A and B are shown apart, each in its own frame.
Chain A
Amino acid sequence: MDKTLTARVSARGLGATERQDRWWVAPAAGALALAVFIVYATWAAFVGTDYEFGPYLSPFYSPYLRPAWFPLSASLIVLWVPLGFRLSCYYYRKVYYRSYFLSPPACDVSEPTRTYTGETAFPLKYLPIMHRWFLYLSILVLLWLWVDALRAFDFGGRFGIGLGTVVMLANVVLLSAFTFGCHALRNAVGGNLRCFSCARGGSLRYGAWRGVTHLTMSHQTWAWLSLYSVGLTDLYIRLCAQGLIHDARLIL
């Protein structure tokens, strides 16, 4: 790349810009929103108590595995799957590259002077391939969460709906919208084809690609909604279990 190209704005250090709007609002909001979730999720994962109430099970503790040999909080057995999935997600990458790595903090706002390798060096280089593995595992975890959501209709053998049932169902719907809008999935179901009509099962794959694309285009929205729905679902069940709030029974 020609050196003359970047002579104009290079080496101005972090934060230099001619932008006249409040460009720092979005990265600051992103940093805060992620930090709040991380702090809550870490605490909720490590406490290891109050994660179930009646037929409800906190998403942090699903699938319900309680091996006797495992010394730590039961949530840690599976939690690395959604954690890895989100950490390697294309959208979350954007958020943390901007908000935490300041690379760049916002468009046309200069970044710290340092050697930049983007996603060409270890470990960032392997994010896209790792994201695929996490996607496959996350679909399994998601299936489990659907089972949990259906179990939340079962009040000791009797069908019922509580506010917690609605919360768990909404959570798993949002999580599905997030997971099935994944870029890696979009590529796998049809994005990797050069020509839909020429491929075997082309119409089917085109349909699937269209469906995933629909969700991919609003991936950002689903990413935030599902992140917070997980946290709030856990919080709701936790508060019920501690007797601090009363689970409203809608149908019983």
Chain B
Amino acid sequence: MERDAGALRPAVKASDGLDGDSAKDQVEARVVETARFVTLRINRGEANDVSGRWEDYEVPLEPGMVVLDAVLHVQAHSANDLAVRWNCKAAKCGSCSAEVGGMPKLMCKTRLEEFDCSKPILVQPLQTFPRIRDLVTDVSWNYRVNRKITPFRPRTDREWRFYQRDVDRSQEMRKCIECFLCQDVCHVIRYQTQEKPQYFGPRFYVRALGLDAHPMDSANRLRLLQVEGGIGLCNVTKCCTEVCPAGIQITDNAIIPAKERIVDAYQDPLRRLFRKVTGTT
């Protein structure tokens, strides 16, 4: 069902129901008259259905409407069996992740007005993770990766006092809401088809650096990131940063600092010499 750009679509003809009825009817008729519609083209399918099927749904457009509103409207009015996952509707829980217009987004934070509403807007599940049903994907791979990261190991040799500026870097990483949009968009996870070496993905470089940059932590996760975490496969092309709804500077503040620290620790001969001479670590 294609429709002209921004076409006004009187669902009730102006003359209908207006002869002698109440003022309320007139108001309602006017509201319906100015309603614009948008087509959501939703990719649906059962578990592990790779390509799925595209189905079109019409939704009345309201000012400030987000994609999740539209999807829930479809669920309420046209497709009661449409599976979609959401909780907070406030960009905080990270469960409504999907791909809208071809890019990973939180559906509850993405306004329809960002798109050209005269054309169908594509809504599909995260492409990097296996589908459970319709828009819901199984992101449990991420939880398995998470368990590989050395947990916080508090120092015992120093008093627990530090300044805000010492935890700023760590706190930026704690803003992560685990939506896994960055994991979805990262081309290393998304497109590499051959038997892969290990790769943690941007979300877990964020977690690891958040711990490694904490003033009271004593573990070292650099070797882990380099060998098992495959951070060398990241080619700093910054898609993860572009999509992060928490605004974390993933590449600049987590991945590149981690790469630099790895060079410090294992590659730079000058620093090795410096450490030997000064006896520092």
Q: Which chain A residues have a beta carbon within 8 Å of chain B's beta carbons?
A: 1-11, 17-21, 23, 90, 93-94, 97-98, 103-104, 107-108, 110-111, 113, 115-120, 124-125, 128-129, 132, 183-184, 186-187, 191-192, 194-198, 206, 216-217
B39 contacts the other chain (CB 8 A): no
Which of chain A's residues have a CB closer than 8 A to the CB of B238? 94
- Name the residue in A8, A132, A186 with the highest tally of chain B Cβ atoms < 10 Å from its Cβ: A8
Q: In the complex, which of the residues A3, A5, A110 contacts B129, with contact meaning CB atoms closer than 8 Å? A: A5
Considering only CB atoms, which chain A residue lies closest to B239 in the complex? A107
B247 at the interface (CB under 8 A from A): no
20 A/B residue pairs, CB under 8 Å, sorted by A = A1-B197, A5-B189, A8-B50, A8-B131, A10-B193, A19-B101, A20-B121, A21-B102, A93-B235, A97-B237, A98-B237, A108-B185, A108-B239, A116-B192, A118-B234, A120-B197, A186-B257, A187-B264, A194-B213, A198-B158
Distance in angstroms between the alpha carbons of A115 and B194 in the assembled complex: 7
- Candidate in B116, B192, B234 with the most chain A CB atoms within 10 angstroms: B192
- Stretch binding the partner chain, chosen from B27-35, B66-74, B159-167: B159-167
B119 contact set on A, CB distance < 8 A: 20
**Cβ–Cβ < 8 Å partners of B261 in chain A:** 187, 191-192
Cβ B198 vs Cβ A197 within 8 A: no
Across-interface contacts of A198 in B (CB, < 8 A): 158, 162, 166, 215
B residues contacting A by CB (< 8 A) are 48, 50, 99, 101-104, 115-116, 119, 121-122, 124, 127-131, 141, 158, 162-163, 165-166, 185, 187-199, 212-217, 230, 232-239, 242-243, 249, 252, 256-257, 259-261, 263-264, 267-268
Cβ contacts under 8 Å, A4 to chain B: 48, 130
Cβ–Cβ contact B236 & A93, under 8 A: yes
Give the A-B contact count at a CB cut-off of 8 A.
170
Q: How far is the CA of A206 from the CA of B101 in the complex (A)?
A: 42
Q: Is the interface of A mostly helix, strand, loop or mixed?
A: loop
For residue B141, which residues in chain A have a CB less than 8 angstroms away from its CB?
A: 1-2, 5
Q: Are A104 and B191 in contact (CB under 8 A)?
A: yes
Residues of B within 8 A of A118 (CB): 188, 230, 232-235
Chain A: CB-nearest residue to B264? A192
B102 touching A18, Cβ below 8 Å: yes
Q: Are A183 and B260 in contact (CB under 8 A)?
A: yes
Specify which of A10, A125, A192, A217 is in contact with B191 (CB 8 Å cutoff).
A10
Q: Given the complex, which residues of A lie within 8 Å of B260, measured CB to CB?
A: 128, 183-184, 186-187, 191-192
A15 CB, min distance to chain B CBs, angstroms = 12
